[in-house]
Amino acid sequence: MLSNYFAKSGFDLNLKKLIVPGIVMLAFYILGTVLWLVYGQIMPLFFFGYIGTSVGVGLGLYAALPKKKKPLGRRLSLLMVGTFLVGFAAIYGQENMQIEGAFFGLLGGVTQAAVVHYLIAKVFGPMLFGRIWCGWACWTVMILDLLPFKRPAGRVLGRWGWIRYMHFAISLGLVAIAWYGFGYQGGAIGRTAVAWFVIGNLLYYAIGIILAYATQDNRAFCKYVCPVSVPLKITSRLALLKIEGEAEKCNDCQACVKMCPMDIRIPEYVRNDQRVLSTECSLCQTCITVCAKDALKLSFGFDLGGKDYRRERTERVERKVRNEKVAV
């Protein structure tokens, strides 16, 4: 009876599709349990258990829902994790969850939420699950994905990607100047730390929204400005979880390329008999959803991230985007 109901509703409860969500959820619970046993405090189990459950449920819904409703799973995960980290960890916990908060914490030897968050989500976690945090748990993406430009026209011509490295260096430099130059050491925990977090986030949102409308691309901030992608591009090269394609099924229709929010030329990896080795991939699974031949899937394996095959705009497309922006 229950299986018939789910079938009529369009749910696909194939257990194989729930393996990845289950593994991700289990990994967070194991981490929380280990930290609980090591430090004798149950808060890490609650903290990571909640995040693991949120991401696992989101991934599970994405796997089970019919194609048109799959994005609901990712939006739910983004909302649950994003609001939790902003509300509980930052506001209630009085901590700066921005990357500068992690720098302050490391300089002061303070093992606060930001340090743990960046070590888990940006350094060690990506070695297992790639940039899944970007696609399923980022509070910046939670807002930017609500914007109307869900089908990017390709990467903007030029070396815009270097801006994120400059941003990372500026963030580190600001913390170093504040710490060593002015003796300010309150950027990790406390009221000023929360103020830093709130103002920093508002700036991120403002820059992200302006860039999205300027480039007609929801993820322009992620591609060109976000400093968090700097360590992620290093550690995600080692990721065990990646997108895998079946060359015999792929008809090179380019649907996955046109819809990929990060402008990855996925078929080139498939033709080369490789998994998607791009360090830009956020495992949002949009490519899997839009593939009419079911040629793509998530898989675990051992391979080193390689060359980033990215779709770039032509001069004609660039002119079209500028003209549409002027018309608006």
Write the DSSP symbol of residue 16: G
The pLDDT value given to residue 213? 96
Give CA–CA dist 178/188, Å, rounded. 12
Q: Return the half-sphere exposure (C-beta side, CA atoms, 13 A cut-off) of residue 47.
A: 23
Give CA–CA dist 255/45, Å, rounded. 41
Give CA–CA dist 167/185, Å, rounded. 21
Give CA–CA dist 21/177, Å, rounded. 42
- Taking a C-beta distance cutoff of 8 angstroms, is the pair 298, 20 a contact? yes
For residue 169, the tally of other CB atoms under 10 A from its CB is 12
- For the chain, 328 residues long, give each residue's pLDDT as a single digit of tens: 444 444 455 666 677 888 999 999 999 999 999 989 988 889 889 989 999 999 999 999 999 998 889 999 999 999 999 998 888 766 777 888 899 999 999 998 877 778 888 888 899 999 999 999 999 999 999 999 999 998 998 999 888 889 999 999 999 999 999 999 999 998 888 888 888 888 999 999 999 999 999 999 999 999 999 999 999 999 999 999 999 999 999 999 999 999 999 999 999 999 999 999 999 999 999 999 999 999 999 999 999 987 889 999 875 555 555 555 545 4
Q: In whole numbers, what is the pLDDT of the chain averaged over residues?
A: 88
* Tokens at 1, concatenated: 């009876």
Give CA–CA dist 120/228, Å, rounded. 13
The pTM score is: 0.88
The pLDDT value given to residue 313? 87
- Domain segments of the chain: what residues? 2-234, 239-315
Give CA–CA dist 39/61, Å, rounded. 34
Integer Rg of the chain from CA:
20
Q: For 128-171, how does the pLDDT look when each residue is reduced to its tens digit (9 = 90+)?
A: 999 999 999 999 999 999 999 989 989 998 888 899 999 999 99
DSSP bridge partners of 300: 241
* Tokens at 221, concatenated: 């901030």
Q: DSSP labels for 107-168?
A: HHT---HHHHHHIIIIIIHHHHHTTHHHHHT-HHHHHHTTSS--S---BPSSSTTHHHHHHH
- Taking a C-beta distance cutoff of 8 angstroms, is the pair 130, 239 a contact? yes
Helix (H, G, I), strand (E, B) or coil at 39: helix
As its CATH architecture, domain 239-315 has 2-Layer Sandwich (3.30)
The pLDDT value given to residue 325? 52
| Rounded (5°) CA angle 55-60-63 | 130
The pLDDT value given to residue 209? 97
- Candidates 153, 174, 201, 164; CA nearest to 312 is 153
- Taking a C-beta distance cutoff of 8 angstroms, is the pair 150, 218 a contact? yes
